[in-house]
Amino acid sequence: EIVMTQSPGTLSVSPGERATLSCRASQNVKTNLAWYQQKPGQAPRLLISYASTRATGFPARFSGSGSGTEFTLTISSLQSEDFAVYYCQQYNKWPLTFGQGTKLEIK
């Protein structure tokens, strides 16, 4: 099983600042990596696929990068609606696996 490890567990950032979230895979997943955003009481929402392809509805301040085992989600200038939990997921190999999540909170 490919283990996905996200860091940090919680990230405190002020509105307008940049946030950088990390996701590490225990094996090479190429660019078969997705990011999801989840707000309290809501379903997750696809944010990024193929490590860097932004989903419809998300603004350009969200960007993804990386390949192999190291991935990064960057939010360039945080807005109030961006504070949420973010999960990475690999889809290179069964079983599909998620990271444990990074909670992005207002500083």
Partner 1 sequence: EVQLLESGGGLEQPGGSLRLSCATSGFTFSTYALTWVRQAPGKGLEWVSTMNAGSGNTYYADSVKGRFTISRDNSKNTLYLQMNDLRAEDTAVYFCAKDNSLHYFDFWGQGALVTVSS
Q: Could you list the residues that contact partner 1 (CB under 8 A)?
A: 32, 34, 36, 38, 42-46, 49, 55, 87, 89, 91, 94-101
Looking at beta carbons only, is 68 or 76 nearer to partner 1?
A: 68
Taking the complex as a whole, the smallest distance from the CB of residue 64 to partner 1 amounts, in Å, to 12
Taking the complex as a whole, the smallest distance from the CB of residue 99 to partner 1 amounts, in Å, to 7
Beta bridge partners of 106: 13
- DSSP codes joined into one string, 15-60: TTS-EEEEEEESS--TT-EEEEEE-TTS--EEEEETTTEEPTT--T
